[in-house]
Structure 1
Amino acid sequence: MYGVWRSREHFSVPGSSPAATSVDVRALADAARRAGGVVRGPAPVIAERVAGVWQLVFFAEADRLREITRVQGRRYEGVRAGRLRWSSTMRAVPPASETTAPTRDLDASEARTGLELW
């Protein structure tokens, strides 16, 4: 299972919800691109659920999925888990309204129409 967040900062908020989930990582990247996050701001991030924990795997850039290294991923995962402090190189903490919205399940047939992630 994969989840997509609007940015690495959205992911880093402890307990933040993904905007959408799917077993298809490409479907998530396409949905993020349609939502416009790639054009208007930082690249959305995609994480994989491994043993109950979200692990960052890709930046959903405008033209490709770019791998997130384990070193990069651990940094944001550590902030999310409360083991690391919010870095001065990160943007401001997103408002709660952007990190607690209900998650869309893209694998549900009705979720594929009228998709608005953010």
Structure 2
Amino acid sequence: MKGGRERERPGAGLRSKEGGDLTETRRKKRETPLEHFVDKHQCDLIARVCNIGPILDNLFREGVIQQEDYDTIRTIPTTQERMRKLYSGSLKAGGQAAKDVFFRILKKEESYLVADLNRKES
């Protein structure tokens, strides 16, 4: 060490917006939990889901979407726009539990698509 000074690690002593050590904040961001399947494959699901009717029916039956949202989404002309509305509304508001139900329904109604996306992951 030159001049008896220790080298500090980058970001040491700096504070994040949350008030913690910046290097600690960076480390925690790298350790985030795995991304949910429906989030990870959002673009592919929006583009490739074909059988949206039964998916909406099941989401409504299981209480993930309410009558008003169900009716609104059903009037949207394209499947891709319906999926975008579903993502931006009910799935976002319902959080992890809604995504879990949606994924279970997707595995039943769009099993080949889910299998294809799983193959691409591995």
Higher helix share: 2
**Structure 1-normalised TM-score?**
0.27
Q: Which has more strand, going by share of residues?
A: 1
Between the two structures, name the one with larger relative contact order (CA 8 Å, sep ≥ 6).
Answer: 1
